[in-house]
Amino acid sequence: MKSKGLFGLSFNWIFALIVGGFILFLAIYGSSKFIVTSESTIYTETAAKLTSLLDPLETGLASGKATEITFKKESRFKFTCNEKSFAPFGKETVSFSEQTFGKEFGKQSERVDIKDKYIFTNSLLEGKRLIIFSKPFFLTFKVADLTLIFSQEHCFFDAPEEIEEELEGLNMAGIIFMNRSQEVKDCKGISVCFDDEMNCDVEVSHDKNYLVKEGKKLYYTDNLLYGAIFSSADIYECNLKRLKSKFDELSKIYLTKVNIIERSGCLSNIGSKLELMSAELESSRDILRLTEMAEEIDLINKGAKSGCKLY
Amino acid sequence: MGTKKGQLKIQAERTFGFLVPKSSKGQLKIQEMAFMLVAVFFFFILVGLFALSLFYSGLYKQANKIAEERTLSALTNLANSPELSCASSKSNCIDADKLISLVGNEPYENFWPFSSLKVIRLSAFDKSDSEMIECNLANYPDCEKFEVYDKELKNERSISTYVALCRKGYENTYTYEKCEVAKLVAGTEIKVQGESE
């Protein structure tokens, strides 16, 4: 008679079960870790590829460009902005994840740095479709391209004609122009009003160059209006500081150019005016002061001889 | 044969009797199984390590591919960037008067996604790198190569594009724009598995 151990199993069986179980556990644990790492890798790749996809949107000589990116699954992008890291330009980061099982989102990917772009968007973007457009930003000379990304539909109530024409000219989806007779509740997405009397998510005081969003007043000039509308208040303020830093670096380049073109008989007093603009930007309100100074420089440049224009 | 095996077993039991417990047959089976399990275990670890190394080499390949794509897409638009674009609203045109101030401009070293960036004038197309006269503020415009920056990496792949390079010229009190063909060269760092940064 063979002796039977626990539950009538021989020692061999118990031993095999314990060790086999241990190996199986290790295999399953290793596989699950591998799957998580692979998923994170794919998500990080997607986030990195997004930055490459934004390059063709550089406006160059154009007044704007637009495109759309669609995903098979519901996707989530998280953006952060830090004007102090990576001095003097600051940086933004983007991470990606998508819906896996049910409505659960996978673990957010590693953050990918974006240093040479100025992306104005919500800190959290969700959807199957991203609408992207770009607009140049001038402060005397061209400083950078503003890249604007949104996923939710935006309803513009009583938008000025020039804004309507400009956006319609880009031939993009996601922006609906509505008039005073239509009600805010008819809007399925974000409501943007250019009229004080309406109660909207974004209230624009176009003649005073500011808008109110998330309870914060964001000042703008020119194309920065779109940046203020489509981005979170903190990302807007951060990117504005980054743009000011870029302006300062470009000013140094133009100051050298002033010295070089002086050799060619072009005298300019733009240099001293540019130096006056180098003060730090505390908040978006300062952009109004800078724009006034920039207009002065612009007048001097326009008045220069045709061969002596700085920009 | 069967008897020989049996004799060997009995002999082993007699010789190493102090090591072998009474239920020696069971113990031997356990030992056999344990060795087998250890072998299987190590086999799977080796297979796992092989799979991981394959996975990571693929990862490096993919990372390098993304970096190169990024360099290519950024390079095609670089000439139109505010730092380099010509004053006269020409597309794909670099303003040499602006470019010269970018030479050795440290902040820009990490701004663009390139590991190196240079512009070579038409006159130096046939020359080797060491033969070219590097541009600086003192010898500009009588020079051939604008070395914006070079991180001097061991593993780098370069791509180039042709651009117009313009600067202000001056003759008989007349200021004009003097343009020529130039080559814009940008490098991408190629990451190699097992090599640290």
Residues B86, B88, B93, B95: is their CA dihedral positive or negative? negative
Residue B36 lies in a domain: no
Task: Starting at the earlier edge strand, list the strands of the sheet with A210-213.
Answer: A175-178, A154-157, A190-193, A202-205, A210-213, A216-219
Question: What ranges make up the beta strands (E) of A106-153?
Answer: 112-114, 118-120, 124-139, 141-150
| pLDDT tens digits, A147-203 | 999 999 999 998 999 999 999 999 888 999 988 777 777 888 999 998 767 788 999
Task: Assess if residue B11 is contained within a domain.
Answer: no
Residue among A16, A86, A253 minimizing CB distance to B33: A16
CA torsion, points B94, A269, A144, B151, in degrees to nearest 10? 60
> What is the sign, positive or negative, of the torsion defined by CA atoms of A175, A181, A183, A184?
positive
pLDDT of A230 above 60: yes
Residues of chain B with pLDDT under 70: 1-23, 26, 195-197
Rg (CA), chain A: 27
Each residue of A128-163: pLDDT tens digit? 999 999 999 999 899 999 999 999 999 999 899 999
Which residues in chain B are closer than 8 Å to A252, comparing Cβ atoms? 101, 105
Across the range A24-36, mean pLDDT stands at 86
For all residues of chain A together, what is the average pLDDT?
A: 88
Using CB atoms, which residue from B26, B77, B97 is nearest to A260? B97
Work out the minimum CA distance from A73 to partner chain B, whole angstroms. 22
Coil, strand or helix at B101: helix
For residue B12, is it within any domain? no
Q: Which domain holds residue B59?
A: 54-189
Strand partners, B95: B166
A233-261 pLDDT, tens digit each? 999 999 999 999 999 999 999 999 888 88
**From B37, B100, B112, residue closest to A256, measured CB to CB:** B100
Best B66, B71, B115 residue to mutate vs chain A (most A CBs within 10 Å): B66
**pLDDT of A106 over the 60 cut:** yes
Q: Do A310 and B33 touch (CB under 8 A)?
A: no
Q: Tokens for A102?
A: 């049910």
Sign of CA pseudo-dihedral B97, B101, B104, B106: negative
B1 within domain boundaries: no
Q: Give percent above pLDDT 90 in chain A.
A: 48
Which residue in the set A51, A52, A257 is minimally distant from B97, CB to CB?
A: A257
Q: Is the pLDDT of residue A7 over 70?
A: no
pLDDT of residue A225: 95
Mutate to test the interface with B, among A146, A264, A266, A298 (most CBs of B within 10 A): A264
Q: How many residues are given for chain B?
A: 197
- The pLDDT, as a whole number, for residue B23 is 60
Can you tell me the ipTM of this complex? Answer: 0.81
Strand-pair category, B116-121 with B174-189? antiparallel
**CB-CB under 8 Å, A12 with B80:** no
| Alpha helical stretches, state H, chain A | 11-54, 161-169, 224-230, 233-263, 270-276, 286-303
Task: Tell if the CB–CB gap between B30 and A12 is shorter than 8 Å.
Answer: yes
Q: What angle do CA B184, B189, B190 make, to 5 degrees?
A: 125
Neighbours of B175 (CB within 10 A): 17
pLDDT tens digit sequence for A42-79? 899 899 888 888 988 887 777 889 999 999 999 999 99
Check B48 against A30: CB less than 8 A apart.
yes
| Res A1 pLDDT > 50 | no
Residue B116 lies in a domain: yes
Instruction: State how far residue B76 is from chain A, nearest Cα, in angstroms.
Output: 8
Whether residue B15 lies inside any domain: the answer is no
Q: Shortest CB distance from A61 goes to which of B59, B91, B175?
A: B91
Whole-model pTM: value is: 0.83
Cβ contacts of B105 on chain A, cutoff 8 Å: 252-253
Tokens of residue B95, six digits:
């303003």
Asked if B73 lies within 8 A of A55 by C-beta distance, the reply is: yes
Nearest CA in chain A to B89: A61
Please indicate whether, in this complex, the C-beta atoms of B111 and A257 are within 8 angstroms of each other: no
pLDDT of residue B13: 52
Q: Do B174 and A307 touch (CB under 8 A)?
A: yes
Domain total of chain B = 1
pLDDT of A153 reads 93
